[in-house]
Structure 1
Amino acid sequence: MAETKPTSAGGLYGYLVLICAVAAVGGFLFGFDTAVISGAEPLFTDEFKLDPKMEGFVTSSAIVGCFFGALGAGVLTDRFGRKKTLLVSAVLFLVSAIWCWVAGGKVELVFARLLGGLGIGIASLASPLYIAEVSPPRARGRLVALQQLAIVLGILGAFFSNSVVNIMDMTDPAKWRLMFGVAALPAALFFVLLFLVPESPRWLSKQGLHQQAREILSRVAGTAEAELALAQIREAISQEDVGVRELIRPGVRRALFVGITLAVFTQITGINAIMYYAPKVFKEAGFGTSAAYWHSIFVGLTNLVFTVASMVFVDKMGRRALLLIGSSCMGIALVLVGYGFHAKLPAQALLAGVLLYVASFAFSMGVVGWVVISEIYPTRVRGRAMALATSAVWASCYLVSVTFPWLLKNFGSSNTFWGYALMCAGALAFVALFVPETKGRTLEEIERAWARR
Structure 2
Amino acid sequence: MPTIVNPPGSRPYSAKGNSFYLSVLTLVAALGGLLFGYDTAVINGAEKSLVDFFIGNPEQNKYVDNILQVISQYRVILVITLLLMLVVICSLLFKIVKRNRALAVSGIAMAILGIWSFYYISKPLPADASDLKGTVDAVKGFIIASALIGCVIGGAIAGFISKELGRKNGLLIAAAAFLLSAIGAWRPEAFNFFGTIDLFSFVIYRVIGGIGVGIASMISPMYIAEIAPAEKRGKLVSLNQFAIILGMLIIYFVNYFIARQGSEEWLAHTGWRWMFFSGAIPAVIFFILLFFVPETPRYLALKGKDEKALTVLQKINGRKNAPVILSNIKQTLHETNAPWLSYGFLVIFIGIMLSVFQQFVGINVVLYYAGNIFRNMGASTDSSLLQTIIVGAVNLIFTVVAIMTVDKFGRKPLMIIGSIGMAVSMIALGSMFYMNKVGVMALIFMLTYTASFAMSWGPVCWVLLSEIFPNSIRGALSIAVASQWIANWIVSLTFPILNDNLWLTEKFSHGFAYWIYGVMGILSALFVWKLVPETKGKTLEEIEKLWK
The amino acid of 2:287's aligned partner reads F
What is the match of residue 182 of structure 2? Answer: 97
CA shift, 1:165, in A, is 1.0
RMSD across aligned positions (CA)? 2.6
Percent identity over the alignment is 39
* Correspondence 1:55 to 2:140: yes
Out of 490, 512, 530, the position equivalent to 1:399 is: 490
Out of 235, 258, 264, the position equivalent to 2:350 is: 258
CA shift, 1:380, in A, is 5.5
The amino acid of 2:36's aligned partner reads F
Q: Return closer, same or farther for 1:394/1:388 CA change in 2, 3 Å cut-off.
A: same
The amino acid of 1:446's aligned partner reads L
Q: Which has the higher helix share?
A: 1
CA shift, 1:330, in A, is 1.8
Larger-gyration structure (1/2): 2
What is the match of residue 74 of structure 1? Answer: 159
1:185-215 Cα distance to aligned partner (Å, 9 max, x none): 0011111122233323333333344554454
Equivalent-residue separation in structure 2 for 1:438 and 1:13 (angstroms): 29
What is the match of residue 272 of structure 1? Answer: 364
Q: Return closer, same or farther for 1:181/1:429 CA change in 2, 3 Å cut-off.
A: same
1:408-448 Cα distance to aligned partner (Å, 9 max, x none): 1344432211211121222222333443444566xxx5257
Q: Return closer, same or farther for 1:171/1:351 CA change in 2, 3 Å cut-off.
A: closer
Equivalent-residue separation in structure 1 for 2:412 and 2:314 (angstroms): 31
Q: Return closer, same or farther for 1:312/1:349 CA change in 2, 3 Å cut-off.
A: same
Q: How many equivalent pairs are there?
A: 443
Equivalent-residue separation in structure 2 for 1:59 and 1:124 (angstroms): 19
CA shift, 1:46, in A, is 1.0
Out of 275, 287, 300, the position equivalent to 1:204 is: 300
CA shift, 1:228, in A, is 6.0
1:322-345 Cα distance to aligned partner (Å, 9 max, x none): 323322222222222222222333
Equivalent-residue separation in structure 1 for 2:541 and 2:299 (angstroms): 17
Equivalent-residue separation in structure 2 for 1:120 and 1:439 (angstroms): 30
The amino acid of 2:221's aligned partner reads P
1:143-180 Cα distance to aligned partner (Å, 9 max, x none): 22211111111111111111111121345221111110
Equivalent-residue separation in structure 2 for 1:362 and 1:330 (angstroms): 10
Equivalent-residue separation in structure 2 for 1:194 and 1:336 (angstroms): 46
Q: Is there any run of 5+ residues in structure 1 with no aligned partner, and where?
A: none
TM-score by length of 1: 0.89
CA shift, 1:139, in A, is 3.4
SS at match of 1:238: coil
Equivalent-residue separation in structure 1 for 2:469 and 2:20 (angstroms): 27
What is the match of residue 101 of structure 2? Answer: none
Q: In 1, are the aligned partners of 2:13 and 2:319 still within 8 Å (CA)?
A: no
Q: In 2, are the aligned partners of 1:255 and 1:450 still within 8 Å (CA)?
A: no
TM alignment of 1:313-324, pairs within 5 A: 313-324=405-416
Equivalent-residue separation in structure 1 for 2:20 and 2:527 (angstroms): 37
What is the match of residue 540 of structure 2? Answer: 446
TM-score by length of 2: 0.74
Equivalent-residue separation in structure 2 for 1:30 and 1:86 (angstroms): 12
CA shift, 1:135, in A, is 3.2
Q: Return closer, same or farther for 1:449/1:372 CA change in 2, 3 Å cut-off.
A: closer
CA shift, 1:258, in A, is 3.1
The amino acid of 1:180's aligned partner reads F
SS at match of 2:437: coil
Q: In 2, are the aligned partners of 1:31 and 1:154 still within 8 Å (CA)?
A: yes
What is the match of residue 14 of structure 2? Answer: 7
What is the match of residue 23 of structure 2? Answer: 17
What is the match of residue 144 of structure 1? Answer: 237
Q: In 2, are the aligned partners of 1:266 and 1:393 still within 8 Å (CA)?
A: yes
Q: In 1, are the aligned partners of 2:430 and 2:511 still within 8 Å (CA)?
A: yes
SS at match of 2:339: helix
Q: In 2, are the aligned partners of 1:137 and 1:440 still within 8 Å (CA)?
A: no
CA shift, 1:377, in A, is 3.8
Q: Is there any run of 5+ residues in structure 2 with no aligned partner, and where?
A: 1-6, 57-135, 190-197
* Correspondence 1:290 to 2:296: no
The amino acid of 1:194's aligned partner reads L
Q: Relative to structure 2, which stretch is displaced further, 133-142 or 365-374?
A: 133-142
